[in-house]
Chain A
């Protein structure tokens, strides 16, 4: 069944349970970039779904296509030099690709929002935090400027900024890194979006601040019923925060599973490699690493894209591209998935 379409609903497929309609539904998304080698496919048939109140972690090394996927979903890819080569993106019931610029800008910031890694570059240094959030609100909601300001202060309060009314009158440089990221989150939720994409939102933060922000994101997701896509390379953060995980490698999803399942037993050798490479806080064990590097889009190996680096590869792995195959309520793009007994740690 199910060739190259690994979309697994986040709910367990018990027949009695009414399936919740996912807020995010990406099907067979492919993205191409212009390179020195012509148009090259950098995202290949990516499918994912996120239900309200759920957090999907998207993990993988740099260059695996995590951020490109999220930018495509927000339609933020540059018009020149990139194109969506196939597939569909549906967010909150809206087909993102069919929207004109006006409809799109109504959608962005209003029904879907994004937070980035570096809050300082995402904020305008010349305006106060409150002004920037109020501007977002006014852009999307028909409210007076007084009302917009009130909402801005409320959002700042919601994300746990003390003395929100006073802090709203401050400039970004007067905020610490953690406070800036809170302000970014406040801006993202100020119009009560249904979908939030967070691209490495805590990577630039210290661990104690990261713990605060993760707790905030989780509780917001639950309280507001947000569907959240959480892009990170940090497996600890995933273990802490996400409900489901999609592992990306060389522009494809190679594995998709629930959080407990994937850590208990990875079903793809690349996931195994990633999990084993995480340095542990307890004890001193051998640090594992995956030999070789991620292939360039114009230099993809035949068959399974991970096969040249895979410790379990057999000649058949190089024969033809592999589909993401569904096994129970998870999926894996590995030929030998049935016979391998993979483990998160040695």
Chain B
């Protein structure tokens, strides 16, 4: 961990304009609140949480696809938040994105050669045969034959399209690739092939991934470390083993216990904590911990003030009552 992180996010805040009231000003909606993360070169950080928790907003803000309200994003030592115009464009070479739906993320009227090669033209001035040769190399890297250059997206299956999207993301040899639900739309068998591909590419290219997914089992497989988000806050960060085997935040544990296990004997014999209630209203956010209303351990302190991050049993957790995990504890039993 002594290495310099390739991506560092500190105190990231994102706000969206709120709905105007008839009188007075619209209060902004705070979608992401004080998120700090770092990723080492060649590392995969899983980012999990339910819909609306702010996972994708974090990704878009750190790439400056939307403007953060506060915070600093450092990519390979360069402060992305301070850059503008062509300097920003240049810096963005180092961070690329793969989206969920390969049916809408590829231009249906563009040949594969143009989709994958566009960035090469813009950033490296490659043209014609030179460009196509590089595109063919990239296609080969993601397991597609070079002769696919002259084809359109509709000629490919979902898995193949996602390979094309990955080739496009890798065209400029980025240091970080943000995968936003990159395997969620695929059938499980195809999904596993793409996960295998991403893992292989990481070995080969030492690329780091920010892997956003709501599928915890997939995150378990691909990540080195995992960050858990709830209601715009980061609530726990730890190694993949810590998060999955010794969750410290009650929300992390609840999330894990809600994932059905593909084994009827274990699934039905398992103690589960079905969370009641839903995520709070974003327009009127609670003052304290946003999970307090659904948390069985909540005390007055929890509803008063959002807990600070602190170290607990090896992970970092924002909770006044982190779970004690021993192999005999209930928390452990629930997460199994």
Contact = CB atoms under 8 A, between A and B. Distances in A.
Interface stretch (B26-34, B87-95, B145-153, B259-267): B259-267
B51 to A, nearest CB: 6
A214 interface: yes
A211 B270 CA distance: 13
A236 B189 contact: no
B221 A287 contact: yes
Contacts of A284: 220-221, 240
A279 B258 contact: no
Interface string B248-264: 00000011101111111
Interface in B145-194: 157-159, 187-193
Contacts of B278: 176, 178-179, 209
Given A177-B51, A239-B267, A211 B274 contact: yes
Contacts of B214: 206-207
Given A176-B278, A211-B272, A240-B268, A277 B189 contact: yes
Given A177-B51, A215-B274, A236 B260 contact: yes
Contacts of B259: 207, 236, 281
Contacts of B190: 289
Nearest to B264: A239
Interface string B47-91: 000110000000000000000000000000000000000000000
A260 B265 contact: yes
Contacts, number: 121
B217 A280 contact: yes
B220 A281 contact: yes
B255 A239 contact: no
Interface residues of B, number: 43
Contacts of A300: none
Interface in B100-116: none
A284 B226 CA distance: 14
A263 B264 contact: yes
Nearest to A62: B187
A281 B217 contact: yes
A61 B195 CA distance: 17
A181 to B, nearest CB: 12
Nearest to B266: A239
B247 to A, nearest CB: 12
A9 interface: no
B264 A279 contact: no
16 contacts: A177-B51, A208-B50, A208-B258, A211-B258, A234-B260, A237-B260, A239-B260, A239-B268, A240-B264, A263-B262, A279-B188, A282-B244, A289-B188, A289-B190, A290-B189, A293-B157
Given A206-B51, A208-B50, A279-B218, 8 more contacts: A177-B51, A207-B214, A207-B216, A212-B274, A236-B261, A279-B220, A284-B240, A287-B195
Q: Which 5 A-B residue pairings sit nearest by Cβ, starting from the closest?
A: A236-B260, A206-B50, A279-B217, A235-B262, A287-B192
